[in-house]
Amino acid sequence: QRNLIIVGSAYSYLQEYLPHVAQFVVRNGWTDLIGLGRMTLAYPTIIADAVEKGALEKKSICRTFSDCTTAPRSGLISGCYPLDKYYTSKPEFQKLREVKKAVGT
């Protein structure tokens, strides 16, 4: 018996497969729980939708564009700029575009 809790991470990269893989690895004891980071910025209700509806809203799924991590590295607020209109309406959106253009992404 172990005294260490294992948290599965980087599941946002699985995109629409996240709920299925997460359920499998927890059910089979490969990890104790799944930590969600960037996916919850893009799609805060992903787990509720997976459990209650049995389906995801594809337009809300994090596509790992990395703007949520690029922005704070550049002194801007973190958020899902590509999918959340709240962030695209902020002045930081234009600043982020300039940062990305300067580094060629």
pLDDT in tens, 57-84: 999 999 999 999 999 999 999 999 999 9
pLDDT category at 1 given cuts 50, 70, 90 is low
What does residue 2 show for φ and ψ, rounded to 5 degrees? Answer: -95, 155
Q: Tokens for 73?
A: 């590295």
Domain ranges of the chain: 7-60, 67-103
pLDDT beyond 90 at 21: yes
Whether 71 and 96 have beta carbons less than 8 Å apart is answered as yes
The answer to pTM > 0.85 is no
Q: Which amino acid is at 12?
A: S
The whole-angstrom distance between residue 18's C-alpha and the CA centroid of its chain comes to: 10
CA angle, 58 as apex, 55 and 61 as ends, to 5°? 105
Q: Which residues sit opposite 7 in a β-bridge? A: 33
